[in-house]
């Protein structure tokens, strides 16, 4: 792992860096574990734009990741570490004892030929998955379920992990990457270690073209628009907006609390990130 810098033979190369890809052992994915992935361009199922600045980008296939821990009671061998264009972390192809293959999020330190286990009684080793009740205090975990059987939701991106801080009855106190401490039921599954490719945050795109390859379109500043397009647009000469920053529909964007008061997950928060 690491970041590679090139000689500045072009203006785009001067500031751009890329992942070293040292840990990648296979260039193509396992075909049986991929599916077509349609571009949505930020639109929902009604065709309305819900996310701005999305469109184009390189063609991708979706890799089916086993977030639901379906191979409980089995151990497997790591066949390859692969690049996944749909996420920042690397993925590992596992061949289990029954001959079935599956992708998991590859933790830092996992190598080809290593073994991983899933289920109660698994060893406390990097890449192994087990219920949170079996994880010792102070251990780093990633790909954590919020509800039993619903699949991993927490700490899935590159370099992320949560820490098991305490055990309180049938609940586990988890300090998640945002700094928030929340309760998770002890039967929820998690994997030991932290998601791989921690240098992802150090990569500099270097040029606008790389953003376009990732499917990100250009964005205009609000104050540079006309009043018909944005509440902060218009003004004689260069204007700084003249009001609190808002969305194109007039909703305050900085400091406005949007979390619902009666949201069920609020009761699970022990200490907020702020």
Q: Smallest Cα–Cα separation from 22: which of 105, 112, 101, 86?
A: 112
Q: Smallest Cα–Cα separation from 90: which of 108, 67, 73?
A: 108
Phi and psi at residue 26, to the nearest 5°: -150, 135
Please report, for the chain, the start and end positions of each structural domain, with discontinuous segments joined by +.
Answer: 3-201, 221-274
- Evaluate whether 3-201 and 221-274 have a shared fold: no
Instruction: Provide the β-strand partners of residue 102.
Output: 94
Per-residue pLDDT of the chain (274 residues; tens, 9 = 90+): 689 999 999 998 999 999 999 999 999 999 999 999 999 999 999 999 999 999 999 999 999 999 999 999 999 999 999 999 999 999 999 999 999 999 999 999 999 999 999 999 999 999 999 999 999 999 999 999 999 999 999 999 999 999 999 999 999 999 999 999 999 999 999 999 999 999 999 999 999 999 999 999 999 999 999 999 999 999 988 888 888 999 999 999 998 988 888 888 888 999 998 7
- Taking each continuous run of H as one helix and of E as one strand, the counts in the chain are 2, 17
Check residue 196 and give its pLDDT: 94
Domain 3-201 has CATH 3.30.470.30: no
258, 251 Cβ separation under 8 angstroms? no
Q: In the numeric block, which tokens belong to residue 201?
A: 């945050």
Check residue 208 and give its pLDDT: 95
Fold adopted by 221-274: Ribosomal protein L2; domain 3 (4.10.950)
Q: pTM score, two decimals?
A: 0.92
């Amino acid at each position: 792992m690491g970041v590679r810098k090139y000689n500045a033979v072009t203006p785009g190369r001067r500031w751009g860096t890329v992942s070293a890809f040292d840990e990648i052992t296979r260039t193509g994915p396992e075909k049986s574990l991929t599916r077509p992935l349609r571009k949505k361009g930020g639109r929902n199922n009604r065709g309305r734009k819900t996310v701005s600045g999305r469109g184009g980008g390189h063609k991708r296939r979706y890799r089916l990741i086993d977030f639901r821990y379906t191979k409980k009671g089995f151990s497997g061998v790591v066949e390859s570490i692969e690049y996944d264009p749909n996420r920042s972390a690397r993925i590992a192809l596992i061949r289990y004892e029954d001959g079935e293959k599956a992708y998991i999020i590859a933790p830092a330190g996992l190598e080809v030929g290593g073994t991983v286990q899933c289920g109660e009684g698994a060893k406390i080793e990097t890449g192994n998955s087990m219920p949170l009740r079996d994880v010792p205090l102070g251990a780093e975990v990633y790909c954590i379920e919020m509800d039993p059987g619903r699949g991993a939701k927490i700490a899935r991106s590159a370099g992320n992990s949560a820490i098991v801080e305490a055990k309180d009855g049938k609940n586990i106190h988890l300090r998640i990457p945002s700094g928030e401490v929340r309760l998770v039921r002890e039967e929820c599954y998690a994997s030991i270690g932290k998601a791989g490719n921690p240098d992802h945050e150090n990569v500099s795109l270097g040029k606008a073209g790389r953003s376009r390859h990732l499917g990100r379109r250009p964005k205009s500043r609000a104050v540079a628009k006309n009043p018909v397009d944005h509440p902060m647009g218009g003004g004689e000469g260069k204007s700084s907006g003249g009001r609190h920053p808002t969305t194109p529909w007039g909703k305050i964007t900085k400091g406005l609390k949007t979390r619902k008061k009666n949201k069920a997950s609020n009761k699970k928060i022990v200490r907020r990130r702020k």
